Amino acid sequence: MTNFTDLKQWEKVREGFEAAKGITLRQAFADDHSRAADMTVEAAGLTLDYSKNLVTRQMMADLFDMARECGLQEAINAMFSGERINVTENRPVLHTALRNRSGKSVVVDRMDVMPEVKSVLERMAAFSHKIRAGIWRGYTGRPIRNIVNIGIGGSDLGPAMAVQALRPFADRRLRFEFVSNIDATHFAEATHGMDPAETLFIIASKTFTTLETMTNGRTARTWLLETLKDEKAVANHFVAVSTNAKEVAEFGIDTANMFEFWDWVGGRYSLPSAIGLPLMIAIGSDNFNKMLDGFYAMDRHFAVTPFERNMPVIMGLLGIVYNNLHGAQSHAVLPYDQYLARFPAYLQQLDMESNGKSTDKNGKRVKIETGPVIWGEPGTNGQHAFYQLIHQGTKLIPADFIGFCKSHNPIGTHHDNLMANFFAQTEALAFGKTAEEVRAEGTPEELVPHKVFEGNRPTNTIMADELTPAVFGALVALYEHKVFTQGVIWNIYSFDQWGVQLGKVLAAKIYPELTSEQPPRTDAHDASTSALIARYRMANGRRA
């Protein structure tokens, strides 16, 4: 495929960008009274108002044309139909089959995957019910009260984020912990004070070979057996979620207690698969299914809606404007909902592991900027920390503001105050405050420049009535498809992650050098790494 920057449609976008340079959002809104209404789209219970972005109508029209020229619709169709679009791993990309609620088949290698998808969902539902109803018991006959998910990356971030996001729908009698870090502190603190007789471990790993998860899994086993003192207890207290039955059995978990998923589900896209088991235990299968309905509604929207009204496409293209025209290096995600506190962290893997690439599909070094740094914190906390830089700093930081009309905790004036801030921030960022306005407040002249807000800080506003399971599913799918859209335009492979390999290989080489009695060869590493390893060995009483 041609580089998008070589397309005449991109040239038009660029010309539009140059022409619009002097135009402020103040001016754009003053000139065009239907801008806000026309730049608002609805999908799957979500509203996106993208009118406070640094784009003109013409630029958007050119961007949609460019996306068509880049073959975005064909790429969408290829993903949904199970083509092997994950070329470097030779796999289809079918997380959308996990939430395919149409009743239609999805065929991979001439086999319909839907019966298997449904059967795993049914097994998950039966198991979740047994835990929630106290039917599944620990080895000593006690009901399960603690669920500890051991996994990392896509086998951790999704369920950890979702269990927090949907806590109002959760069975509060159950305690959920997520252990990911190989730092033993994570396991020790998560299980502190827990009774092993009432604890279920879910060992979640697509490959079932990931160092962190296997190490934490073995520690969990030892921790359990120190109290229960019988290998047979493992069957009551350990289940696995994986694509790798052989490794699960070798680890010592009966494959009857394994919930399967498939290599066509990428780790960072696996929340609606069996990786969502902790979430299903928390909120029950009915709510989990409602979440899948939300995912599906956004999937259909993405698949069939003309780009002009297509929410993920619009968000993806806007990101390209900032990334590739304005030189923005990062993108902030700012949920005005404490339940979504982990959403930015989840999106970091989704976006940065997918589009943090510098080689294009032709195997050539890209000539353009690809994925931005994703970051964020819930509002209003960020307002008292880093918003200063967004308002008055020298860097352009496009931001998504996510908010809900109704709170799950309608206490006093909290929610109206929260949302007043939500609306105030995007207004202030877009329209700022001129020197004349500052002066009119009686500000001493020497302070005027400090109190001016330039405005023109772009934001998306994403709103829904309430954070329900369905809305949550739609929100996650929205970002998945935004990331997909950008990967297609940038002509990179969004579904592999080779960049995580080198560090893993080197860590495996360094581990014995830290622990062996023999110091490593002095030329085993560069001078910096060798000296640091020596420092560590000496501090642990080993010869440097």
What is the contact surface with ligand F6P in residues (CB under 6 A)?
A: 152-155, 205-207, 210, 213, 267-268, 353, 497, 500
Q: Measured from the CB of residue 261, what is the shortest distance to ligand F6P in angstroms?
A: 10
Residue positions counted in the chain: 544
Look at phi and psi of residue 412 and say left if phi exceeds 0, alpha if psi is from -120 to 50, else beta: left
Marked catalytic residue, from 353, 377, 480, 513: 353
Q: Measured from the CB of residue 344, what is the shortest distance to ligand F6P in angstroms?
A: 17
Q: Measured from the CB of residue 204, what is the shortest distance to ligand F6P in angstroms?
A: 7
Marked catalytic residue, from 104, 192, 384, 450: 384
Quick check: 493 and 86 in contact, CB under 8 A?
yes
Cβ-based nearer residue to ligand F6P, 32 or 89: 89
| Count of beta carbons in the 10 Å neighbourhood of residue 398 | 23
Q: Measured from the CB of residue 144, what is the shortest distance to ligand F6P in angstroms?
A: 23
Quick check: 179 and 291 in contact, CB under 8 A?
no
Beta partners for residue 146, in sequence order: 175, 199
Q: Helices (H) and strands (E) in the chain — how many of each?
A: 23, 13
384 in catalytic set: yes
Task: Give SS3 for 521.
Answer: coil
Give the separation between CA 137 and CA 408, rounded to whole angstroms.
32
Lookup: tokens for 8: 């005449």
Give the separation between CA 311 and CA 42, rounded to whole angstroms.
8
Q: Measured from the CB of residue 371, what is the shortest distance to ligand F6P in angstroms?
A: 15
Q: Measured from the CB of residue 373, what is the shortest distance to ligand F6P in angstroms?
A: 18
Lookup: tokens for 65: 């044309």
Q: Show Cβ contacts of residue 496 under 8 Å, excluding neighbours closer than 6 positions.
A: 86, 88, 89
Listing DSSP states for 417-445 in one string gives: HHHHHHHHHHHHHHH-B-HHHHHHTT--G
Catalytic residue set: 353, 384, 504
